[in-house]
Structure 1
């Protein structure tokens, strides 16, 4: 058996249906999937389980192996989340595995079951295969009890019993027996209920309907002329991060992939950060994907109603859960053995004042955009005013900041900036609703906060804005001053701040969040989203050629599935952190839209 601490890769391909997701490795093995939803217990946990999937004692996997394996190729069906893997043996025999989670319209609703479907076909020669379906439960290596019938196997996972229905011989699966694959074989892993109808024909129908659903959605995207493939793949991955039942958008599909080797910076990102979700809907809005925005606004309206003008947490569970206590899953060794594996996130307890701006900014488009099925109303505005009141009340108070420092608090410039944006955008919304008195009220509050930023975040001795009011440190979020329209790109104060940020935080083709030591020491990897902020800023200050070069470098580091994790190594570009990371995918989309040649260039 290979060294358990060495196995692990986030060069993975996600599949899903906006209810469940799975991460599949390059040999078509499921190594991560949580049930019954993205923040549930891992049914497939090999990613954090410390065993090579080839090992005899591997667990938490679903593998369809080819005997005498020689090579694998993998790709998505164009503009879909349907994954194709071709495995070839040493004699030239080969099979194709088609993986997807069913998703399509049925009886006036979207059918998106807690289920995965695998179609396996022989392509050449006389390949022999083996099915290893080894689920886990309870954040451990423990296998659930199983029972079987003539064409199914039941896995008795507490709270979510699952059933595998297949037209393969059940004994082959139970005993992990090698057998010759002579015809198309289907595997439907879903809720513990009988599968109605012919498995093969139903699987084909589900495939075709899911294919059409994804391609029709991608067809509606307003993509830039250049880098279309990158943008479409990023957009599909962002949609996979949506829990469509509630509209929540998770920050990533995984937990506890460290930000850097053995750093202890292992966090559970399978929840809805309002900040990350704001940036996600902003990016998808640029592509015209209004369905995600509309659904997310429903999620936000529920959060705002629940808080009634009081404290809003930086994150919630995908089912609106406020309590997400953090604990260690001690029975899993972690990615490449680099624990701890964390479940839940202590950031739920944090005070992060930027969240009020993100709630307002996510909502403000609904007051202007006449395409929406549900335009915002005066009642919605009055509800948002309570969020604005909170933003104004706390804008000058210390918080944990967007980087979520765990042991110290300051008045972070980014948080104050977002509180300013909340008041500024409420003034805009009041104007379009024909409420001049409210517009004047919110503009006056925005002006008060602007004055505080311009006087207290500006360090005259250093000649630039700083990351905290009255402080000296820098962080990359200061680049958002132009994105939020607080400063113009040619403002001398911004240019001076940008120069200082490049000097302190830039590492070649990548960017740090901050350079100062935090609770876990000095940052060791670049934060991909900040690298895209750097690219945006370069373009906006007139250094477009350099921005395009950096963007091309960034996309050269995409995984084979066309995606990015949270962080990357300065020197090699190797991926670290949870995967796929919505922040990073947002950067891919925003920079492509900003840097691309116009469509008129081809006319």
Structure 2
């Protein structure tokens, strides 16, 4: 079977919360950024059009006719089996080391690969072609007896291996008669015997992830689906700082030739809120704790001022948007963008999305570091901004680039910020502060009820200025602004279904935006639809739609940002945290409880 020339999103992430890599259906690494998720894509074939031999790390089996893949249970360690027409076969085990070592977490900028002959007399050819400067030039190489150094500008990687170095450099086919080991990592001599150390790291990494999964409070139904999404969400956290990126990729278009090619390798305050909320429901407090530390640094740097919608994983505020001219783009559909101009936007919902997860720090006794009085004082500064900005125009959660309105979702998030601050003040024994924040929440509620309600349409509008609808209005029940049986919510839900639902899928909005009319469904909005259906009593329908969404996952069990509601093809950056959150939340909501298991 020939390798597919056209890239697709049948990709398998591996990672260690420092770096990550995406592996295609033939076992080739086609995307990986160094030294972290927002760095230079050393492996960039995913964005290289049909130039599949530039920026990849493949093991080509001579005469290959099939490939099968699966994760080692409850880990992000991938096993790929390649079979040839003569019956020969190899297995490739891929992982990024992550385990305890010397009293700290060992998570190097490194990828380990083990290639095993498992049938016949297989012959393989290794294609290892790292690039630098976003695909502009191949890495320069120097070689030693058992290693190859790849010079990538400011970074240098070293491949240590027990395979023939000359065969790798020349791309020459050779017979594999015993297990081969590869460690692509820091430019330093490999410590210890390669074979034993790589196998030890793989086993320790497997043990770490399986123990982490063991601590998750999964629903009874859809456990495997939830576990895979939870592991992948954790891979989206940059553990060094606690930041959580929206996706591991840049510039996979939301729809073919749409120019909606955004760089999602950054920490959106909004996306991160939904991610920690979902993982917290599973009991994954380690992700929440690290993210709260990241937020505290963001709040400190803002000094009571405006919070941006997104930051780099290191907390950098400026994310200038440029293009990478050397990369043709996903399926040749450029541009490939670096950075994201949305950092310049005003999005007032972010204040609520800082307050909501942070409030847990005052209440949850399981946390290693409980929030204190100083944290509450800092959080009140965020609340002051939420109250001041709740009825001011912004770009909204969909990040419109050419217009501003007072978006209802942003106003509701402002209400939620004040409401949760009142709850935190009660918990801390501050009745006067609680009364003040509760009064502010009620003032915002009154403003929303009067300004967002569209009398002629008999529904809430997406903004105070206009009566169009968007799917974020479904979050009014998730945020506890309205009860599911509220007549105004039911009327709005009916209007949203009529205007935005496309069969089993949901648009985020149906109005023309900066790039024309939306062409694909937004996956998280479909999950919001499923949640709403269940909460208003249409649970059978919700379960049916949930099964449909699960059927559109990749073989790796994951989802991207968007879906063509006609063909079912996935589009948009991958894996998308929003979409994985949707799987976790809907599974928890729809699953039968453990106590009912017979």
TM-score by length of 2: 0.99
Contact 1:155 1:163 in 2 (8 A): yes
CA distance in 1, matches of 2:50, 2:41: 15
Give the corresponding residue for 1:461. 456
Give the corresponding residue for 2:13. 14
SS of match in other structure, 1:371:
coil
CA distance in 1, matches of 2:490, 2:152: 57
Query: What does the per-residue CA deviation read over 1:237-287, in whole Å, with 9 as the maximum and x for residues that have no partner?
Result: 000100000000000000000000000000000000000000000000010
Give the corresponding residue for 2:549. 554
SS of match in other structure, 1:562:
coil
CA distance in 2, matches of 1:260, 1:51: 19
Per the TM alignment, residue 543 of structure 1 is displaced from its structure 2 partner at its CA by: 0.2
Q: Confirm or deny that 1:382 pairs with 2:377.
A: yes
CA distance in 2, matches of 1:337, 1:362: 40
The gaps in structure 1 that reach 5 residues or longer are none
Q: Confirm or deny that 1:599 pairs with 2:598.
A: no
Q: How does 1:265-414 map to 2 (within 5 A)?
A: 265-414=260-409
CA distance in 2, matches of 1:156, 1:52: 21
Contact 1:274 1:359 in 2 (8 A): yes
Give the corresponding residue for 1:541. 536
Per the TM alignment, residue 575 of structure 1 is displaced from its structure 2 partner at its CA by: 0.3
CA distance in 1, matches of 2:343, 2:111: 31
Q: 1:501 aligns with which of 485, 496, 519?
A: 496
Q: Confirm or deny that 1:42 pairs with 2:13.
A: no
CA distance in 2, matches of 1:462, 1:569: 29
Query: What does the per-residue CA deviation read over 1:356-408, in whole Å, with 9 as the maximum and x for residues that have no partner?
Result: 00000010111111111111111111110000001111111100000000000
Q: 2:239 aligns with which of 240, 244, 248?
A: 244
Per the TM alignment, residue 52 of structure 1 is displaced from its structure 2 partner at its CA by: 5.2
Give the corresponding residue for 2:200. 205
Give the corresponding residue for 2:151. 156
Contact 1:7 1:52 in 2 (8 A): no
Query: What does the per-residue CA deviation read over 1:26-74, in whole Å, with 9 as the maximum and x for residues that have no partner?
Result: 1110000000000001100000011253xxxx20000011100110000
Query: What does the per-residue CA deviation read over 1:83-120, in whole Å, with 9 as the maximum and x for residues that have no partner?
Result: 00000000111000000000001111100000000000
Q: Confirm or deny that 1:564 pairs with 2:569.
A: no
CA distance in 1, matches of 2:465, 2:561: 30
CA distance in 2, matches of 1:158, 1:516: 45
Give the corresponding residue for 1:446. 441
Give the corresponding residue for 2:248. 253
Per the TM alignment, residue 473 of structure 1 is displaced from its structure 2 partner at its CA by: 0.5
CA distance in 1, matches of 2:389, 2:339: 26
Q: How does 1:68-79 map to 2 (within 5 A)?
A: 68-79=63-74
Q: Confirm or deny that 1:27 pairs with 2:26.
A: yes
CA distance in 2, matches of 1:565, 1:3: 22
Cα root mean square deviation, aligned: 1.1
Give the corresponding residue for 1:583. 578
CA distance in 1, matches of 2:171, 2:518: 45
Q: 2:257 aligns with which of 253, 256, 262?
A: 262
Contact 1:49 1:141 in 2 (8 A): no
Contact 1:567 1:575 in 2 (8 A): yes
CA distance in 2, matches of 1:445, 1:108: 47
Q: 2:160 aligns with which of 159, 162, 165?
A: 165
Contact 1:17 1:240 in 2 (8 A): yes
Contact 1:116 1:190 in 2 (8 A): yes
CA distance in 1, matches of 2:175, 2:114: 15
Query: What does the per-residue CA deviation read over 1:478-507, in whole Å, with 9 as the maximum and x for residues that have no partner?
Result: 000000000000000000000000000000
Q: Segments of 4+ in structure 1 off by > 3 A?
A: none
Contact 1:51 1:59 in 2 (8 A): no
Give the corresponding residue for 1:93. 88
Give the corresponding residue for 2:108. 113
SS of match in other structure, 1:161:
strand
The gaps in structure 2 that reach 5 residues or longer are none
Q: Confirm or deny that 1:144 pairs with 2:173.
A: no
SS of match in other structure, 2:131:
coil
Contact 2:3 2:26 in 1 (8 A): no
SS of match in other structure, 2:124:
strand
Per the TM alignment, residue 572 of structure 1 is displaced from its structure 2 partner at its CA by: 2.1
The 10-residue stretch of structure 1 (285-294 or 168-177) with the greater mean CA deviation from structure 2: 168-177
CA distance in 2, matches of 1:197, 1:432: 53
Per the TM alignment, residue 140 of structure 1 is displaced from its structure 2 partner at its CA by: 2.2
Contact 2:391 2:411 in 1 (8 A): yes
CA distance in 1, matches of 2:306, 2:155: 34
CA distance in 2, matches of 1:497, 1:579: 31
CA distance in 2, matches of 1:348, 1:461: 36
CA distance in 2, matches of 1:381, 1:450: 23
SS of match in other structure, 1:584:
helix
Q: How does 1:512-531 map to 2 (within 5 A)?
A: 512-531=507-526
TM-score by length of 1: 0.98
Contact 2:405 2:465 in 1 (8 A): no
